[in-house]
Amino acid sequence: MMADTHHRLPTALWTPSPNCAPRLENCAPELIVLHCVSLPEGEYATGAPERLFLNQLDINEHPSFHDLDGMRVSPHLFIDRLGNVQQFVGFNHQAWHAGISSWQRRNSCNGYSIGIELEGTAASDFTQAQYQSLTTACRWLLACYPSIGFDAIVGHMEVAPTRKNDPGSGFDWVTLYQALHAHTAKLY
Ligand SMILES: [Zn+2]
């Protein structure tokens, strides 16, 4: 399977964010970094994470948003609690999701990774709809970008362990990997 010409997931709603940069020397993505976010923390379907990624969040909406003033962040994909997928950055561009980070002794994961935000908290479980959409997205990415190894799906907490704890203990890696293996098995 070839990457979509526009480096977009076919099942995602495309809402481009200005928070991105070209990948250096067209570096192919090699890593998928999973995150979770909710704004305010623990509240869902507010639309606030999406507005943050588009630099459209009014920090006066909630006291906890003042910390986000001037923050310029983006994932490639955002998956809400219902499993709806929104894409903010083309996969051929860097999104700004990992910050100071390191994977296998390589710094600055944004340069060579794809960031996926799940709506949730580091202490919450995630929905079956989210696992289904995440599995579909990862399967598509692994097929389109052979530069991503099957074991190169990690949590933000793994690439920035002193700063980050997402997607957290409520994220079920076994469910994800079993679903990916099941899908992969069907390919043969
Ligand atoms: Zn994160």
Torsion angle of C-alpha atoms 106, 170, 80, 145, degrees rounded to 10 = 30
- Tens of pLDDT, residues 147-186: 999 889 999 999 999 999 999 999 999 999 999 988 665 5
With contact defined as beta carbons under 8 Å apart, do 87 and 77 qualify? yes
61 carries an active-site annotation? no
Q: Is the backbone of residue 96 left (phi > 0), alpha (psi -120 to 50) or beta?
A: beta
Spacing, Cα 49 to ligand 1 middle (Å)? 12
Spacing, Cα 97 to ligand 1 middle (Å)? 6
Q: Which of 41, 117, 119, 158 is catalytic?
A: 117
- Tens of pLDDT, residues 51-101: 999 999 999 999 999 999 999 999 999 999 999 999 999 999 999 999 999
Spacing, Cα 187 to ligand 1 middle (Å)? 31
pLDDT greater than 60 at residue 188: no
The third-level CATH classification (topology) of the domain covering 13-186 is Lysozyme-like (3.40.80)
Residue extents of the structural domains in the chain: 13-186
